[in-house]
Amino acid sequence: MAFSDEQVERYSRHLILRGLGVKGQKKLLASSVLIIGAGGLGSPVALYLAAAGVGHIGLVDGDVVDLSNLQRQIIHTTERIGQPKVDSAAKAMRSLNPDVTVTTHHMLVDAGNIAQLIEPYDLVVDATDNFAAKFLINDACVLADKPFIHAGVVGFAGQVMTIRPHEGPCYRCIFRDMPAAGEVPTCRQAGVLGAVVGVIGSLEATEAVKLIVGVGEPLIGRMLTVDALTMNIRRVPLPAHVPDCPVCGEQPTITAIDPANYIQPACTIDSANE
C-alpha cells in the first residue's frame, strides 16, 4: 500500500520512530481493535488509537453521556450530554483522524452478544468499569483465542495487563472469581481521579500499539500497578501458567459463555447502570 501525502505528514512522527516506521504504520492501518467501554478508560484508548491510525476501531457502550462523566471521560463534551457515548466518541475520533473507520455498537456487552462482537477484531480492549464485564471479556477472549488488554481503575490507583490466551496467564488465572458486590468499591462509591483514568487508559493504548506493531515487551505475565498517591508504579510478575484456571487451565470448567457466571454475587448495587 502507498501512503498518501496526508498520511506521510499525519504519521510522520511514527514513520521516523525507530521500532515503528513504515512497516509499523502499515500494520496499524491494517489492524482492527474493539474497545468495550466508551467512558473513562475508553476515552484515552479511543483517542490514542484513532490518532495512531488503527484502521478499524469498534466501540461498545450502552450508555449516554452524563454530566458526571465529564470529570474524566474526556472524549465527550458538554454539548453532547444525552447522546449515546459511542456516537459521541465516534464523532471525536473521526474529527481527530478521518482515516479511521469507527463502528459503533450502542449496547451493553453481555453473554449473548460478546462472541459475535469480538469475532471480527484482531484485538479487544477492556475499558469497562465493572467486574462482571471484565470476567465476561476474559472468558470470551480466551475461548475465542483473542488477545485482549485488561485494565481497572478506582480512586487513585489502577492496573493494566495484556492477555494472549495460553501464552501467559489470563485474568481469571489471577482473580479466580468475581468479588461479592460491595467488596471492592466502584467509582460511583469511592470516586476516581480523572487523570489517573487517563494514565491507565493511555497505558492500554500503548500496549495495543505495541502488540499491533510487534515492538517492545507486552505486559504478558506481568501486571502493571499504578498508585498515583505514592507514584509507586510496579510490574508485578504473575505465574506464567495456572494449571487449574477454570477457563485456560488444563481441565477447564468454563467452556462456553454462560450468563450465570457473570452475575456479581449478593448484588445490592444496581450494576446495570454502571
* Whether 187 is catalytic: yes
Nearer to another protein, 31 or 88 (CB): 31
Contact of 134 with 204, CB cutoff 8 Å: no
- Shortest CB 242 distance to another protein, Å: 35
Stretch that binds another protein, among 25-33, 103-111, 172-180, 217-225 (CB under 8 A): 25-33
Q: How many residues does the chain have?
A: 274
- Our finding on whether 98 is near another protein (CB under 8 A) is no
- Our finding on whether 15 is near another protein (CB under 8 A) is yes
Contact of 224 with 235, CB cutoff 8 Å: yes
- Our finding on whether 16 is near another protein (CB under 8 A) is yes
Q: Is 182 left (phi over 0), alpha (psi -120 to 50) or beta?
A: left
125 assigned ligand-binding residue: no
Stretch that binds another protein, among 21-29, 167-175, 201-209, 259-267 (CB under 8 A): 21-29
Letters for 30-49 (x = contact with another protein by CB under 8 A, - = none) are: x-------------------
Choosing from 54, 65, 153, 187, the catalytic residue is: 187
Contact of 87 with 46, CB cutoff 8 Å: no
Q: Which three cell numbers stand for residue 81?
A: 450530554
- Our finding on whether 8 is near another protein (CB under 8 A) is yes
The single-letter code of the amino acid at 62 is: G
Helix axes 42-52, 194-213, angle to 10 degrees: 40
CB atoms within 10 A of CB 123: 23
Active site members: 187
Interacting residues toward another protein by CB under 8 A: 1-3, 5-6, 8-9, 12, 15-16, 18, 21-23, 26-27, 30
